[in-house]
Amino acid sequence: MNKVLLLAEILTVASALIVGFHPNILYASVFLLFTFCGVAVMFLFAGADFLAGAQVIIYVGGVTILILFAIMLTQWLYKIKLADIRNKMVVPALLSAAVGVFLYRALHQMVAALPPQTPEALEKFTATPKTAAIGQALLGGYLFPFEAITILLLGAMVGAVWLARPE
């Protein structure tokens, strides 16, 4: 089973690299799709089955398609100059690499501070389905953020429609 996880992680990282470095925006968007799928698999192996489903529906189904639409609407197909002129890349590359490294070291030190779970607890955690627990948590302890999110989504929807309406 761990081999599948390893493959998913390699898939995610590779496609993320392409998204980051590919000059053509269309290709970047497509590979973003693959990154999301890889992440969904990682969720599965992390015992977050409901989450993986949500990931697939929201990101893969919704956001990426939205981005593709946006690209279609803003780049003239017949003269798609899809090549995204990239200006200097050295400084941002160094910068983002440094951020990544420091972030990882910081998290790594924090990890040492928390007590690890026993392997069988890990096993039991990944096995139990989380949907019911998430449902109860959403309407129990997390009721207020849940409601706030619904209002947020409504607002975003109305805003997006108003902004994008034709003159």
Contact between 125 and another protein per CB under 8 A? yes
Taking the complex as a whole, the smallest distance from the CB of residue 148 to another protein amounts, in Å, to: 9
The site string for another protein over 1-20 (x = CB under 8 A, - otherwise) reads: -xx-xx--x--xx--xx-xx
Residue 157 binds another protein, judged by CB under 8 A = yes
Q: Contact letters (x/-) for another protein, 25-64, by CB under 8 A?
A: x--xx--x--xx--x--xx-xxxx-xx--xx--xx--xx-
Which of 26, 21, 135 shows the shortest CA–CA distance to 75?
Answer: 26
3-state secondary structure of 86: coil
Report the SS3 class of residue 167: coil
Residue 78 C-beta: closest distance to another protein, Å: 15
- For the chain, helix, strand, coil in percent to 5 are 80, 0, 20
Structure token pair of residue 12: 């995610």
Closest CA to 64 of 33, 92, 94: 33
**Which of 80, 95, 139, 143 touches another protein (CB under 8 A)?**
95
Task: Decide: is 127 part of the binding site for another protein (CB under 8 A).
Answer: no
